[in-house]
Amino acid sequence: MKKFFVFLLSFCCLVALSACGSSSSSGKAAPASASAAAAAPAAPAQPAKKVLVAYFSYSGQTEQVAKAIQAKTKGDIFKIETVTPYPASYRDCTAYAKAEKNENRHPAIKPGPANVKDYDVIFLGFPIWWYDAPMAVYTFIEQNDLSGKTVISFCTSGGSSIGESTPGLSKALAKSAFKEGTRLYASDESGTQKWVESLGF
């Protein structure tokens, strides 16, 4: 009889211990009550960032990338165009652009966009020209008040990296939150989309 009581006591202890173990093994604290969970304040919704994709393109590569970024971000798009077009011949254009850069001439560009103040984020795209952004891009920065805005660069090139344009752009955009972007490829739309996603868009 005594043995039976010892067995019964041990059995009850085991049952009690296993009950405790199962309630804590999940590692989750039980909610205090359903009504307390329901009363928890919801995180405030972040207003959507307004995006502008502004780009310069001579032969269309950067334009294609800019359009892919616009499609992904659902932003607006603006083409930076010089008042006087660059020479149509590639060879003449490279010579012209070299002189323009060496003389630090910032060419006149067509006005716009009208509502630049409305944007929070500006993707700024261009082909690398002589290891830098084309001078027309600098005119765009001077002509538009981008202070306080996030400006993310992107480029296409024949091999140069975006880093070559960063010293000049970060200086010109000293009043903006400038972020060096990356070199992208007109032929790789999904790569462009992945990059845009990695930035949280």
Ligand X SMILES: Cc1cc2nc3c(=O)[nH]c(=O)nc-3n(C[C@H](O)[C@H](O)[C@H](O)COP(=O)(O)O)c2cc1C
Q: Which is nearer to ligand X, 62 or 70 (CB)?
A: 62
Strand order in the sheet with 76-79: 76-79, 51-55, 121-127, 150-156, 177-183
| Least separation in angstroms between CB 161 and ligand X | 8
Residue in the block written with tokens 């032969």: 59
Facing residues of 121 across strands? 51, 150
| Least separation in angstroms between CB 90 and ligand X | 6
Listed in sequence order, the residues at least 6 apart from 68 whose beta carbon sits closer than 8 Å to its beta carbon are 189, 192, 193
| Least separation in angstroms between CB 165 and ligand X | 10
Q: Which is nearer to ligand X, 37 or 88 (CB)?
A: 88
CB burial of 142-169 (b: ≥16 within 10 Å; e: otherwise) equals ebbebeebbbbbbbbbeebebebbbebb
Q: Which is nearer to ligand X, 26 or 104 (CB)?
A: 104
Three-state DSSP at 121 gives strand
Q: Which is nearer to ligand X, 71 or 177 (CB)?
A: 71
Q: Which is nearer to ligand X, 7 or 131 (CB)?
A: 131
| Least separation in angstroms between CB 40 and ligand X | 50
Amino acid sitting at position 144: N
Q: Which is nearer to ligand X, 159 or 200 (CB)?
A: 159
Residue in the block written with tokens 């020209």: 129
Q: What is the CA radius of gyration of the chain?
A: 30
| Least separation in angstroms between CB 47 and ligand X | 32
Q: Of 63, 81, 62, give the one whose Cα is nearest residue 139.
A: 81
| Residues in touch with ligand X (CB under 6 A) | 57-63, 90, 93-94, 97, 127-131, 156-160
| Least separation in angstroms between CB 198 and ligand X | 22
